[in-house]
Structure 1
């Protein structure tokens, strides 16, 4: 069997290509499709839904997004891209429908919650996220 020799530069280039290829989402801004903006929050302004959303957030979302939604949860520390800062203007300026779409569909490393969290609960979480505004 012949020994195959790789030049260090070949290995370096290959490793860079693989790294860039596996982290394409890390570089892309996550934008919901335009039709997501038309999805209306059926629980908007419902204070009991917001309280329920807070409880669900604390059970499911805090691990990555942190207790105050800043994206600094212990479970998110090793993720690429890092969890979003839900208090940020870039998140808070999105429509409820866009946030709902992202929560529903997910994008690695964010899971899809389409089947894991009932629709009503996802809207409750969005109501709570709105209270995190800076």
Structure 2
């Protein structure tokens, strides 16, 4: 029960953050959209191995985490079309794409852990095991 409350709080705060970041315009500067740069994890991230790879039971847990934290921006099917992502620059990644899915589990783990604006770091808010469960679920989103 305590875990659900924590995840709900994090989800709510994340949703509010993403909505406000996407719609706030700095009064000192002219608005210019941030171009989507290729986000590449360091080569060392590819060496990080998924300890839950092949663990089918972890997928259900990963799906719950996705629905609580990722769904709002990445959308129901992971296409990057969630309501919270509409005003974000850069746009949320399409998690079903070949570009995303061709990354190693370690690279995805590194990105979830580190974050990149406007996506926050989940290093302290999602326990390591839960991050791996999330990755196992993300692998089910392949096109």
Unaligned runs of 5+ residues in structure 1 are 1-14
8 Å CA contact 2:95–2:138 kept in 1: the answer is yes
Separation (CA, whole Å) in 1 of partners of 2:42 and 2:90: 20
Which stretches of structure 1, 4 residues or longer, exceed 2 Å deviation after superposition? Answer: none
Which structure: larger Rg? 1
Residue 50 of structure 1 deviates from its aligned partner by 0.9
Alignment equivalent of 1:117, drawn from 126, 138, 141: 126
TM-score by length of 1: 0.82
TM-score by length of 2: 0.77
- Across the aligned residues of Structure 1 and Structure 2, the Cα RMSD in angstroms comes to 1.6
Separation (CA, whole Å) in 2 of partners of 1:80 and 1:58: 22
Q: How many residues align?
A: 116
1:60 and 2:69 correspond: yes
Residue 84 of structure 1 deviates from its aligned partner by 0.3
Alignment equivalent of 2:52, drawn from 29, 43, 53: 43
Which digits, 9 at most, give the CA deviation of each residue in 1:26-78, with x for residues without a partner? Answer: 34210000000000000001011111001110111100000000000000000
Alignment equivalent of 2:110, drawn from 94, 101, 111: 101
Unaligned runs of 5+ residues in structure 2 are 1-28
Separation (CA, whole Å) in 2 of partners of 1:52 and 1:65: 18
Q: Which residue of 2 aligns with 1:77?
A: 86
